[in-house]
């Protein structure tokens, strides 16, 4: 930790200035969030008042409750879809890395047996190199 200050000074950065700017930006973003929450509260109150004038206070409360329950359900379903997609991608990556590890292990196990035969060595080595390059290209495209 003691090395960060001299390193930052060497690079021309002022640690105190950076910390002060970070604090100021945190304060600004906090105030923006607070005022946005207050504005949303007033918008909800205004929407309730309009609905109460149209349908009555009880029906307005039920309508708003239903709308927010539907929004909560939509957010939940969206998060489930995103989670399932991430799990599928993770499983695919795991499967690809396991198959690559299996192929590498098989190749390293078979290498001493193949090295004994000169004909297989002449034909198999270039074929193995081409197959390895093809597998690496397919992995990079994913």
121 contact partners, CB below 8 Å, separation of at least 6: 114, 115
Least confident segment among 17-26, 35-44, 52-61: 17-26
Q: Report the sign of the C-alpha dihedral through residues 25, 31, 32, 33, in that order.
A: positive
pLDDT at residue 5, as a whole number: 62
The answer to whether 46 and 38 are in contact (CB under 8 A) is no
Least confident segment among 29-33, 74-78, 102-106: 102-106
4 contact partners, CB below 8 Å, separation of at least 6: 15
The answer to whether 115 and 121 are in contact (CB under 8 A) is yes
Residue 22 has pLDDT above 60, yes or no: yes
Residue 3 has pLDDT above 70, yes or no: no
Residue 84 has pLDDT above 80, yes or no: yes
Name the H helices within the chain. Answer: 4-10, 15-55, 57-115, 118-141
Least confident segment among 33-37, 38-42, 69-73, 100-104: 100-104
pTM: 0.51
Q: Report the sign of the C-alpha dihedral through residues 94, 96, 99, 105, in that order.
A: negative
The Cα 105–Cα 111 span in angstroms is 10
Residue 82 has pLDDT above 70, yes or no: yes
The answer to whether 8 and 14 are in contact (CB under 8 A) is yes
The Cα 69–Cα 63 span in angstroms is 10
pLDDT at residue 116, as a whole number: 74
């Amino acid at each position: 930790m003691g090395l960060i200050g001299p390193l930052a000074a060497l690079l021309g950065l002022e640690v105190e200035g950076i910390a002060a700017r970070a604090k100021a930006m945190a304060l600004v973003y906090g105030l923006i969030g607070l005022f946005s929450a207050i504005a949303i509260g007033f918008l909800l109150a205004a929407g309730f008042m309009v609905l109460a004038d149209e349908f009555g206070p009880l029906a307005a409360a039920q309508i708003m409750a239903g709308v927010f329950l539907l929004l909560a359900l939509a957010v939940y379903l969206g998060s489930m879809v995103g989670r399932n997609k991430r799990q599928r991608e993770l499983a695919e990556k795991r499967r690809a890395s396991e198959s690559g590890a299996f192929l590498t292990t098989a190749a390293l196990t078979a290498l001493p047996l193949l090295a004994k035969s000169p004909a297989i060595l002449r034909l198999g080595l270039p074929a193995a190199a081409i197959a390895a390059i093809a597998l690496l290209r397919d992995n990079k495209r994913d």
